[in-house]
Amino acid sequence: MSEILIYSDIYSFTAEAFINSINSIDGDSLVVRMDTNGGDPQSTFGMVAKFNEFDGDKLLKVDGRANSSGFFFVAMVENVEALDVSEFVVHRAAYPEWVESSERFTDEMKANLKTINDHLKKAFEKKVDIKAFEELKGVKVKEIFSMDSRIDVKLTAKEAKKIGLIKKINKLTPEMTALIDSKRFDVAANYTPKPENKKEEQPKVEKKMTKEEFKIAHPEAYASVVGEGVAKRNAEIETENEAIEAKKVEREKIKAEVLAEIEAKKANPEKALEGESAPKVVVDAKIETEKTAFEEMSAKIDSDLNIK
23 within some domain: yes
**Do residues 92 and 117 touch, judged by C-beta distance below 8 A?**
yes
Last residue of a domain, one of 206, 238, 268: 206
Q: Looking at 24-156, list the stretches that DSSP marks H as alpha helix, in order from N- to C-terminal side.
A: 41-53, 69-75, 97-100, 107-127, 130-137, 141-144
First to last CA, the chain: 65
What is the mean pLDDT of the segment spanning 15-25?
A: 95
Query: What does the alpha-carbon distance between residue 63 and residue 170 come to, in Å, rounded to a whole number?
Result: 10
Residues 67 and 170 in one domain: yes
Q: What is the pLDDT of residue 37?
A: 95
Query: What does the alpha-carbon distance between residue 41 and residue 87 come to, in Å, rounded to a whole number?
Result: 19
- Greater confidence, 174 or 273? 174
Residues 107 and 21 in one domain: yes
The model's pLDDT over 99-118, given as tens digits with 9 standing for 90+, comes to 898 988 999 999 999 999 99
Mean pLDDT for the chain overall = 81
Q: What is the pLDDT of residue 224?
A: 65
Residue type, 237: I
214 within some domain: no
171 within some domain: yes
Looking at the chain, the whole-number percentage of residues with pLDDT higher than 90 is 50
Question: Of the spans 104-113, 238-247, 277-286, which averages the highest pLDDT?
Answer: 104-113
Chain-centroid distance, C-alpha 302 = 43
Q: Name the residue range of residue 283's domain.
A: 221-304
Residues 51 and 197 in one domain: yes
Last residue of a domain, one of 146, 178, 206: 206
**Does residue 282 carry a pLDDT above 80?**
no
Q: What is the pLDDT of residue 205?
A: 47
Look up the pTM and report it. 0.58
Residues 165 and 60 in one domain: yes
- Greater confidence, 189 or 143? 143
